[in-house]
Amino acid sequence: MSWSKLKKQLESFLYPALNGKVEYCATSYFYLPGKSGICYITVDKKNVFSMSDSSSSIRWYQTEQEIKNDPDVRIPISDEEIEAIRKETKGSVPEDRLKVIARNRKITEYAKELLSAQAALSKSNFIVVANKFLSTSIEESIESNDIMLNILALVDRRVGKKRILNMSEKMKLKHPIVQYFYELRRHS
């Protein structure tokens, strides 16, 4: 499918309040065979997301330690997770430490998933991901670990306002760029 047709189809699924605000853009290198173009998403004519550019205003992590030390990363810990650690340690760990242990385990797991998603994103092709989005269900795109699929689903008109509001806890565990588009959609 040509870029213009793909762009038109993607933009036809945009949530009405985001029409004209969110745009899909692409550059190509016609005279440089073998050099692929760059695809990016703009919000209010400002480039906020490029799949191969880590210099955008959104935080991109280089190491697991950066994620662990980021004060903006808030990991919710459930009572079940604390209880599992209590059973594992046979009650020998003080209560306040149980929460710390649970958070550290969860943030390590989160960091690995986040870095893996970033790595997959930098190697992927926007056009391939966009075609995948158009051929899969909106639920699959939302639940996916693919950052690009999450973004396309969040700005989609088929996802209602009530559903967006119910996703707030789940969005805390997503990449900052996904959280950015979630907030954009939530406030539109």
Per-residue confidence band for 166, with pLDDT thresholds at 50, 70 and 90 = very high
Does residue 20 or residue 70 have the better pLDDT? 20
Quote the pLDDT of residue 122: 55
* H-helix or E-strand spanning residue 38: strand 38-43
Per-residue confidence band for 77, with pLDDT thresholds at 50, 70 and 90 = confident
How far CA 85 is from CA of 74, 89, 91, 152, 169, in Å, comes to 20, 6, 9, 37, 22
Is the entire prediction scored with pTM above 0.95?
Answer: no
How far CA 18 is from CA of 47, 117, 119, 165, in Å, comes to 15, 25, 28, 17
Rounded average pLDDT over 76-86: 89
How far CA 77 is from CA of 61, 81, 101, 102, 179, in Å, comes to 22, 7, 10, 7, 19
Specify the amino acid at residue 151: I
**Main-chain phi, psi angles of 71, to 5 degrees:** -70, -20
How far CA 23 is from CA of 36, 117, 155, in Å, comes to 20, 23, 11
Percentage with pLDDT > 90 across the chain: 32
| Whether the predicted pLDDT of 53 surpasses 90 | no
Per-residue confidence band for 142, with pLDDT thresholds at 50, 70 and 90 = very high
